[in-house]
Amino acid sequence: MSTTVLLGITGGIAAYKTPSLVRLLVQAGMEVHIIMTRAATHFVTPLTLATLSGNPVHEDMWADRNRPSVEHISLADMPDLAVIAPATANVIGKIAGGIADDLLTTVFMAVTAPILLCPSMNVNMYRNPVVQENIEKLRQLNYHIMEPESGWLACGWEGEGRMPEPESIVSGVLSILSPRDLEGERILVTAGPTEEPLDPVRFLTNRSSGKMGVAVARRAAARGAEVTLVAGPIKIPTPKGVRCIPVRTALEMHARVIEAFPAMDVVIKAAAVADFRPATFNEGKMKKDDIGTSLRLVKNPDILKILGEKKRKDQILVGFAAETQDVLKNARAKLKRKNVDMLVLNDVGRPGAGFDFDTNIVHLLHRSGSEEKLDLMSKDKVADVILDRVKEMRKKAVS
């Protein structure tokens, strides 16, 4: 059964981000129902949001005078979580004051599910003592409040007041909805590619975006784990509650992972570490004629294999394999060779499962010999399945 999210959209310029937010919520497997204020419809059309959500958008309490006027109660009873994004100073003040003078505020007055507010406004409005008092009042009443981001604002000012990006809001939603079933677990996740420099301009790398590893870190933190993310050069923001150690090369990743490994209960190696690096690094940019037609390479440390040799009986080690040919044969061999507890096989040649997608199709191979083939799903969902299996393995390992 899917999770139902009720999304309230108010009349702030940040409403232009809400189509992306709806898309990400739907991709995460959620049923999304939307209420807009009249002002919000000036920034984004109901038709756009209805198309993305697959559900009608609600705007007017009196739209259909032939229907019973209790729609606000049925909408309020529907969600597992309710969100207002953007939450303007106006709607925050209304909710804090118990005012219900339109469909959105009337519905949210009756919602009993957790409510997440994402403030968005001019920096001076946000700093206004009345607004801050209202936000604090709602926080004390157990509303979840996402702190706005700082930066350039549409009004021309710079400072706090930007609505969090859709990806961050989805992370907040997932965090509120998640069971805290990984509390006490210390989990190390690696993500992204590595870059192996030849000179100050050129380097060897691969196409990994880091999305899968970051999804695992995000979901593990949402479920209560203490998460350390060792990340190569990626463009994805560090999830809330995750300690990030940025690295560039395979040698740097090796050093940071080996250093952290003894204190960890679980290591999930989702990074695509370069197998080779240039034998020498040139301080100045090399000319084409100096490079020639061949490049001498040396092997990088096999971090996963080293961890497999070092791991304790109570530690869980998960590896990833990106394959394009003889995928199961190669993955089964890697599972044994690297001494991992579980291997996540990703056939990167399949549509929706390659690098830089928001979705994935994986095959889980277990030390016991059992295998699980998962359908196409969002990377957050894949991450949760991986963490579910990790939880089961940890329970057996420490019993």
The domain that contains 234 carries what CATH number?
Answer: 3.40.50.10300
Q: What is the pLDDT of residues 284-314, one digit of tens each?
A: 998 877 777 778 999 999 999 999 999 999 9
Q: Which long-range contacts (CB under 8 A, 24 or more apart) does 153-160 make?
A: 153/122, 153/123, 154/13, 154/14, 155/122, 157/122, 157/123, 157/124, 158/123, 159/123, 159/126, 159/127, 160/123, 160/126, 160/127
Query: What distance in Å separates the CA atoms of residue 175 and residue 238, rounded to the nearest whole number?
Result: 14
Do 158 and 185 fall within a single domain? no
| pLDDT reported for residue 169 | 93
Residue 98 has pLDDT above 90, yes or no: yes
Domain boundary among the residues 120, 143, 176 is at 176
Do 311 and 387 fall within a single domain? yes
Q: How confident is the model at residue 37 (pLDDT cuts 50, 70, 90)?
A: very high
The per-residue pLDDT of the chain, averaged, comes to 92
Do 170 and 197 fall within a single domain? no
Do 187 and 129 fall within a single domain? no
Do 340 and 257 fall within a single domain? yes
The domain that contains 81 carries what CATH number?
Answer: 3.40.50.1950
pTM exceeding the 0.95 threshold for the entire prediction? no
Residue 118 has pLDDT above 70, yes or no: yes
Q: How confident is the model at residue 351 (pLDDT cuts 50, 70, 90)?
A: confident
Q: How confident is the model at residue 157 (pLDDT cuts 50, 70, 90)?
A: low
What does the pLDDT average to over 228-257? 95
Domain boundary among the residues 137, 159, 176 is at 176
Domain boundary among the residues 126, 153, 176 is at 176
Residue 213 has pLDDT above 60, yes or no: yes
State how many domains the chain has.
Answer: 2
Residue of 63, 110, 155, 201 with catalytic role: 155
CA 251 from centre of chain: 27
Q: Percentage helix, strand, coil, to 5, in the chain?
A: 40, 25, 40
Q: How confident is the model at residue 64 (pLDDT cuts 50, 70, 90)?
A: low
Do 244 and 116 fall within a single domain? no
Do 243 and 387 fall within a single domain? yes
Distance of CA 114 to CAs 1, 53, 173, 177, Å? 19, 21, 10, 9
| pLDDT reported for residue 67 | 58
Residue 82 has pLDDT above 70, yes or no: yes
Q: How confident is the model at residue 41 (pLDDT cuts 50, 70, 90)?
A: very high
pLDDT above 70 as % of the chain: 96
- Domain boundaries, position 315: 180-398
More confident residue, 72 or 2: 2
Residues contacting residue 58 through CB under 8 Å, at least 6 positions apart: 33, 34, 35, 36, 71, 75, 103
Among 78-82, 291-295, 353-357, top mean pLDDT goes to 78-82
Has 155 been annotated as catalytic? yes
What does the pLDDT average to over 198-224? 94
